[in-house]
Structure 1
Amino acid sequence: MTQSDGSEFAPPVVAVAGTTDPAAPLVVLLHGRGSDERQIMTLAGHLPEGPAYAAVRAPIAEGGGYAWFANRGIGRPVAESLAETTAWFTAWLDEVAPVGRPVVLVGFSGGAAFAGALLLQRPTGCAGVGVLHGTLPFDAGLPVTPGGLVGAHTFVAQGDQDHVIPRELLDRTWEHLTAGSGATTRSHRDPGGHGITLGLLVELGDWITERLDLSR
């Protein structure tokens, strides 16, 4: 059985791009369920120059790819599994980004739920957290409470025709991040489905530039 600190998972497999300066701001990309670090890293070429980019492979093999947690339905993590994988991930993140190194997390789909878990655990631990076409991990042992994200900065993106993530979870996520949580949130909606558009990447890039103060 996996330990609560995630110690039985293999060391993270990480794809990197951008600067190799270990003190530079870091953008961490989290792939969707059944995907891998190489696919999500293709986004880095459309995002701002300046930061280091790291795409981490999720620790659970699934469907020819990898997953961030066991689930009990789409967008509904098993609490014990999520606790184990977030402990594994934060051990890696604390090593590569000690206090003082700005970090932005950006997750897509299943990676968005995982990014949301890290946000709920450490609301102000990162310079920003992006939740793209995914849900916060409701009912998974983490506090999703009114005002619980005061001081946090988030980016939420959804498609009106997204039929992958249950609409009820998408709506709850949108409402919480844009109104109930107290976070400072930039939001993006488009008429499409469960995918990343060029318009989304432009807005996301602007937000990353703002959060990491790259315009200096």
Structure 2
Amino acid sequence: MSLTEGPRLAPSAGGPADSLVVLVHGYGADGRDLIDLGAAWAEILPHTAFVAPHAPHPCDQMPVGRQWFPLSLADPHAIARDTLSALPAFARLLDEERTRLDLPWSRVALFGFSQGAMMALSFAVTAPEPIAAVVGASGFLPPLLPPGLAPSRPPVLLMHGGRDEVVPVYALTATAAALSAAGVRAETHLTQSLGHGIDEEGVERAGLFLAAHLAPPTG
């Protein structure tokens, strides 16, 4: 039985995928919330497959939605604990998808929104093998890294809205600083007029970032 439930998009160019982007939704949503990003990026990522898995648990506060773990924004350390607890199942899901497509981890990228960004960033910097890239939108990296260099240091893009009332904008600079301290360089993209969401400018910026790091292998 597949671990992954949620929509998928095959490469727009046809043929086998040379890379995979996993779209990780936020708290109370499901994979259908983000799968349209794959269609938006199809032209610049024509050989990339997209999957937007549903989180495994019904949402505590919105039963029609899903959650990766119970969420209390008031306690970052509880979020770190719950994120760590959720990571093994998340890693198995990712491994199933990349194995299905016969791709190495180096050809896998993640895009996460809100709670999905917490999952994507946390996996990316603790993974046993480096992934191609990770984009975290309107989220943050929970305080789960011990002092020293992160086990994995992929390219990172952090995006945030200046009017975000769910995850305050200071999470952008705090996460960038935490990543820097762990040896991970992060690009940042701030849209001052944006709330808790993704706008067209962010979609374009994220797509170009992913395309740059998923360029077809040469040689």
- Does residue 204 (structure 1) correspond to residue 206 (structure 2)? The answer is yes
1:68 aligns with 2:68: yes
**Alpha-carbon shift at residue 168 of structure 1 (Å):** 4.6
Kept in 2: contact 1:120–1:144 (CA 8 A): no
Distance in structure 2 (CA, Å) of the matches to 1:93 and 1:119: 11
The equivalent residue for 2:49 is 52
Matched, 1:40 2:34: yes
Q: Is the 8 A contact 1:112 1:133 kept in 2?
A: yes
Could you report, residue by residue, the CA deviation over 1:86-142 in whole angstroms, capped at 9, with x for unpaired residues?
11121122222146251001100110011122023217531111111101112xxx3
Report matched runs for 1:1-216 at 5 Å.
11-19=3-11, 21=15, 23-47=17-41, 48=44, 49-62=46-59, 63=62, 64-73=64-73, 76=76, 77-98=78-99, 100=104, 102-122=107-127, 124-138=129-143, 142-143=144-145, 145=147, 147-148=149-150, 151-177=153-179, 179-191=180-192, 192-214=194-216
Q: Which amino acid aligns with 1:33?
A: Y
Q: How many residues align?
A: 203
Relative to 1, partners in 2 of residues 1:133 and 1:123: Cα closer, same or farther, differing over 3 Å? farther
Runs of 4+ aligned structure 1 residues displaced above 4 Å come to 20-23, 77-80
**Which letter does structure 2 place at the counterpart of 1:100?**
P
Cα pair distance change 1:111/1:195, threshold 3 Å? same
Range 187-196 or range 17-26, more displaced? 17-26
What secondary structure, in the 3-state scheme, does the structure 1 residue paired with 2:165 have? coil
Q: Which SS does the other structure have where 1:90 is aligned?
A: helix
3-state SS in 1 of match to 2:35? helix
| Structure 2 gaps, min length 5 | none
TM-score normalised by length of structure 1: 0.82
Q: CA RMSD in A?
A: 2.6
Residue aligned with 2:171, SS: helix
TM-score when normalising by structure 2: 0.81
Identity of aligned residues (%): 27
SS where residue 14 of structure 1 aligns?
Answer: coil
Q: For each residue in 1:138-169, what CA deviation from the matched residue of structure 2 results, as whole angstroms up to 9, or x when unmatched?
A: 2xxx3154542674211111111111114453
Aligned mates of 1:39, 1:171 — CA distance in 2? 26
Deviations 1:45-104 (A, max 9, x none): 211332000001011111020111113335835455323421112112222214625100
| Residue 129 to residue 145, structure 1, CA distance change in 2 (3 Å) | farther
Give unpaired runs (5+ residues) of structure 1.
1-9
